[in-house]
Amino acid sequence: MATKTKKNVAIRPLGDRVLIQRVEAEEKTAGGILLPESAKEKPKEGIIMATGEGKTLDNGDKTTFSVSKGDRVLFTSYAGTDVKYDGEEYIIMREDDILAIVG
């Protein structure tokens, strides 16, 4: 499954949030049936485009992220907030909503 992502994005998430670009939805089913745009399910997989600085702890220290820019990740169905910027669609979500790193 090929993905087209921009190299650099002018959006910088805050705190423990990450910016994700979804991978493109499948065009066909496993049986070869072409899906119309309205029948495609939004993928729960994407590429990390940017990360925030980390969550600030009570003592003032920042946490480190388990994911980094370029990682392909799986996330929960209703995670984050959809954002459109410069003609591209992204999701901003907390790192806690990421389930796994793929590959």
How high is the pLDDT of residue 23?
A: 84
Q: What three-state secondary structure class fits 89?
A: strand
Helices (H), 1-103: none
Mean pLDDT, range 34-44, rounded to an integer: 63
Residue type, 53: E
What pTM, to 2 d.p., does this model score?
A: 0.76
* Spatial separation of the C-alpha atoms in residues 24 and 45, rounded to whole Å: 9
pLDDT tier at 34, thresholds 50, 70, 90: low
Over residues 61-77, the pLDDT tens digits come to 999 999 999 999 999 88
Superfamily of domain 17-102: GroES chaperonin (2.30.33.40)
What amino acid occupies position 95? E
pLDDT of residue 5: 52
Domain chopping of the chain, boundaries: 17-102
- Quickly state the pLDDT bin for 24 (edges 50, 70, 90): confident
